[in-house]
Amino acid sequence: EQKWTSEISSVFERHDNEKHKIQLDIESLMSSITKNQKESSSYYKKKIKELGRKLYNQHQLITEQTEEVKECPIKPPKKILESSLVAATPLRQKSLCLVGTLPGTASQ
């Protein structure tokens, strides 16, 4: 009977040790999950703040440009050209010269 009592006692002790070890592992995992969640949350909060600033800046730019367009004086054309006249008018080409060179002498 003593043999069985000590055997059962040993089983209970091993059980308690394993239980304690598993509880420590669970606590460690939970704290690691919490830490990861906090880091992730912090990252996304920063991203949201940054995107909010970008959105605000774009809104300001759009508002300013809208005001500029409203203030821009638009004058109707004085004379409407016929499409045949526009097509028949040759385009003038301007020659570009490099600084310090004469036309036609630019190095190739």
The pLDDT > 90 percentage for the chain reads 40
- 80 pLDDT tier (thresholds 50, 70, 90): low
Summarised one tens digit per residue, pLDDT across range 25-73 is 999 999 888 888 888 888 999 999 999 999 999 999 999 998 888 887 7
How would you write the chain as a 3-class SS string?
A: CHHHHHHHHHHHHHHHHHHHHHHHHHHHHHHHHHHHHHHHHHHHHHHHHHHHHHHHHHHHHHHHHHHHHHHCCCCCCCCCCCHHHHHHCCCCCCCCCCCCCCCCCCCC
Say what the pLDDT of residue 74 is.
Answer: 74
What's the pTM value of the predicted model, to 2 decimals? 0.42
